[in-house]
Amino acid sequence: MSHLAGRGIADITGEAAECGMLGYGKAGQQTTGIHTRLRARAFALAEGTAAGDRGLLLVVCELPLISGGLVQEVLRRLPEGWTESNVMITATHTHCGPGGYFHHALYNSNTGGFRPKTFAAIVDGITQAALAALDDLAPAELSLAHGELHGTSANRSRRAFERNPGHDRACFPEAVDPHTTLLRITRDGRPAGAVHWFPVHNTSMTNTNTLISSDNKGYAAYKWERLEGGADYLGPEPPSLITAFAQTNAGDMSPNLNLRPGSGPTEDEYENTRITGTRQQESATGLFAEAVPLTGPLDHRITHLDLSRTEVGPEFTGDGRAHRTGGPVGGAAALAGAWADGRGFAGFREGRNPVWDALSQRVIYALSPALRDAHAPKALVLPAGPVNRLRPMVQERVPVQLLRVGRLYLLGIPGEVTIVAGLRLRRTVAGIVGADLDDVLVASYSNGYFHYVTTPEEYDAQEYEGGSTLFGRWQLPALCQTAALLATALRDGRPVRRGTPEPLPRARPDRRTPAREEPHPGRAYGDVLSFARMGNRVTATFVAAHPNNVLRRGGTYLTVERREGGGQAGDAGEGAGSAAPGTASGGEWIRVADDGDWSTTFRWARTGRTTSTATLTWAIPERPTPGEYRIRYHGDSAGSGPFSGATEPFAVP
């Protein structure tokens, strides 16, 4: 069967300053600039010669999470025929992206409320990437490969994992899931696109970092597209090869190999991000060469599951009896955080929390046997279900989606699935559709968010993941039951009941008034305040305006430029550049790096009630093109509009 494929990529970076980051949930983790920009990468697939009912659209977003509001607004902007059933929007789960784009209040707790600018930047970028992919549809060859990647993840919840039956644990001898999958897209034998799936948390950057970062999976894509492919993200043409690094069942998989934040393989979070990303990229390039043709139809199903009140049949519960899920409640262990990736609130710990355990067991569960059956032994702390009636805090009715690409099946789950929970979901689908287990993946972090999914055995340990399994002990069996429903309908070629989607709550925006701003006394916006060069690192500080005035989505707050005297422009080790505005005696200034590059950082800081600075750094590559360079800052004043300033030229031998 012939296929069409299209690719698209776009910037989805939100507010770079004074916006709470989503992921770790730390009140003090507010954005102060950019290390790497966040991007959405879209892949459209269709059968035959036109995109019809059998078309699929996969969008991999360098975001902490996907909110229901993002999905609804993007779908509203897509052409007719592209619906929640055949569009999967999934997150890489970086923990260092701006938050405030949820309509459910819990996820805006450190942003002061809903942030319309960040929401708009993400929606605009996802839509731009999706429409570009649809416009790019053309005959293509699809191929698939599987492999294993070791030394890149560690099980951060080993005590819970060990509670699983031996036949489940035997599938993961090292207590990690090393399974990798690559979908390759080629046109006329030339590489055009790739999606790589591997389960590892995107938490190489710690909760002390305040620069926007796409983390290890973002670095993997950046390395393949830009460092090796020479892509210019700010250029007029999209990269010739677009690559995405997506998640699977990463719920208990940490990149911090020493099970401490920022520790392993090294003690430097930036280096860990680079190494972990490189290992995933090298896995992907190896699989790219090994992929075999992927034939067969495209198909899709979706339903909405009310996780607060689902009756689960005895064939899925494991104890031969029917059970019901319960309303969402966070456990004491959830507030402790996953200690391998970053501790949570003081006074809480993974496992036993004696005061909360006693209150739940002796009082709450004693008064409500139904609550006990659904949630015990969780130490109940955050009763999100009752609070939802007053102010929607978390999503209760969630989409569960199944996509088919030939022999590859993607089960879209809007949560964080542990490796054994993922194994059971994959077995459920594979057994019904007759697929090899390797060809069935759990696409976690897709189409919404409802926290964690653990096995009932893991749930009983009440580690961080179990405490964050909001709907109780029978949540995974309920999802397996739903996966079986979707797989059966897809296998038999019949529709499935859509269920009732959760209505989108009203967003409560951040109503803080922006502070008045002005340049430093006697200075103008863009003036250079300081310049220094130490070894291979160049740093310049400028009179700044607030970066949230204009987010410069698809643009940059900084450029590193080289004076080009004529002929072909070279590079400074990071990809092709382009001419910067204006010229100088002796030649043209050529952009060689920007704020999306690994070698640069953009830091913004207040210096008074109305003044601020932007500090730009550039790490000179090991083998730069010799010549004259300068660093330019681009900003936007709330009163006078866009401006820029540049350092004096400096020599790079």
For residue range 623-652, list pLDDT tens digits in order.
999 999 999 999 999 989 999 999 999 999
pLDDT-derived band of residue 484, with 50, 70 and 90 as boundaries? very high
DSSP-derived 3-state class of residue 12: coil
Element housing 148 (H / E): strand 138-148
Helix axes 419-433, 475-492, angle to 10 degrees: 30
Instruction: Indicate if the pLDDT at residue 417 is higher than 60.
Output: yes
pLDDT of residue 48: 76
Encoded amino acid at 592, one letter = V
Give the mean model confidence (pLDDT) for residues 123-145: 98
Q: What is residue 582's predicted lDDT score, i.e. its pLDDT?
A: 47
Q: How far apart are CA 15 and CA 119, in angstroms?
A: 9
Integer Cα distance of 328 and 307 in angstroms: 8
Arithmetic mean of pLDDT over the chain: 95
pLDDT, tens digit, 9 for 90 and up, residues 51-109: 556 799 999 999 999 999 999 999 999 999 999 999 999 999 999 999 999 999 999 99
With b meaning 16 or more CB within 10 Å and e meaning fewer, what string describes 23-46? bbbbeebbbbbbbbbbbbbbbbbb
In a domain, 133, yes or no: yes
Give tens-digit pLDDT for 76-91.
999 999 999 999 999 9
Tokens standing for residue 111: 């942003």
Per-residue pLDDT, averaged over 608-627, amounts to 96
Residue 532 CB neighbour total at 10 angstroms: 10
Residue at 380 is within a domain: no
Closest CA to 468 of 451, 449, 447: 451
- Is-contact 100 29, C-beta < 8 A? no
Q: What is the pLDDT of residue 572?
A: 52
In a domain, 167, yes or no: yes
Nearest alpha-carbon partner for 410 in 627, 584, 181, 93? 181
Alpha-carbon distances of 393 from 102, 329, 384, 451, 604, rounded to whole Å? 10, 11, 6, 12, 32
For residue 573, the Cα-to-chain-centroid distance in whole angstroms is 27
Sign for the CA dihedral angle at 161, 162, 167, 173 comes to: positive
The conformation of residue 27, written as its DSSP 8-state character, comes to T
In a domain, 201, yes or no: yes
Distances (CA, A) of 181 to 240, 247, 285: 21, 11, 11
Whether 570 has a pLDDT exceeding 90, the answer reads no
The residue among 275, 297, 319 that closes a domain is: 297
**Would you name the residues annotated as active-site residues?**
254
The H or E element spanning position 543 is strand 537-544
Q: Tell me which residue range forms the domain holding 117.
A: 3-297
pLDDT value of residue 579? 62
Nearest 5°: phi and psi at 528?
Answer: -80, 125
When pLDDT is averaged across residues 3-17 and rounded to a whole number, the result is 98
| Residue that is written with structure tokens 């996966």 in the block | 483
SS3 (DSSP) at 355: helix
Residue 573 has pLDDT above 80, yes or no: no
In 555-611 the beta strands, taken as DSSP E runs, fall at: 558-564, 578-584, 587-594, 600-606
Per-residue tokens: 506: 């009203």
H helices within 318-445, ranges in order? 332-336, 354-359, 365-367, 369-375, 384-390, 419-433
Alpha carbon 265 to chain centroid, angstroms: 22
Give the count of domains, the chain.
2
Judged by phi (left if over 0) then psi (alpha if -120 to 50, else beta), residue 147 lies in beta
565: domain CATH number is 2.60.40.2300
For residues 491-500, average pLDDT: 96
- Is residue 385 assigned to a domain? no
* Alpha carbons 528 and 520: distance in angstroms, whole number: 11
| pLDDT(575) > 50 | yes
Place of tokens 């592209």: 82
CB neighbourhood size of 648 (10 A): 10
User: Does 137 reside within a domain?
Assistant: yes
pLDDT at 567 over 50: no
Is the confidence at residue 21, as pLDDT, over 60? yes
What are the strands, taking DSSP E only, across 220-321?
Answer: 242-246, 253-254, 292-293, 298-306, 311-312
- Of 270, 297, 324, the one marking the end of a domain is 297
The answer to whether 554 and 124 are in contact (CB under 8 A) is no
Q: Which of 260, 281, 297 is the last residue of a domain?
A: 297
DSSP state of 164: S
pLDDT at 585: 54
| Residue at 328 is within a domain | no
| Whole-number Å distance between alpha carbons of 452 and 476 | 10
Distance CA 239, CA 132 (A): 12
Q: What percent of the chain has pLDDT over 90?
A: 92
Q: Is residue 408 part of a domain?
A: no
- What is the per-residue pLDDT for 537? 98
Average pLDDT of 307-334? 97
411 in Cβ contact with 433 (< 8 Å): no
The answer to whether residues 73 and 87 touch, using CB atoms and an 8 Å cutoff, is no
Q: At a CB cut-off of 8 Å and minimum separation 6, what does 431 contact? A: none
What mean pLDDT comes out for the span 22-45?
Answer: 97
Q: Is the C-alpha dihedral spanning 132, 133, 134, 140 positive or negative?
A: positive
Q: Are 42 and 74 in contact (CB under 8 A)?
A: no
Distance of CA 260 to the CA centre of its chain: 21
Q: How many residues does the chain have?
A: 653
Q: What pLDDT was estimated at residue 648? A: 98
pLDDT at 584: 43
- Are 103 and 393 within 8 A, CB to CB? no
d(CA 534, CA 349): 43
pTM attached to this predicted model: 0.96
> What gap in Å lies between CA 305 and CA 400, rounded to an integer?
7
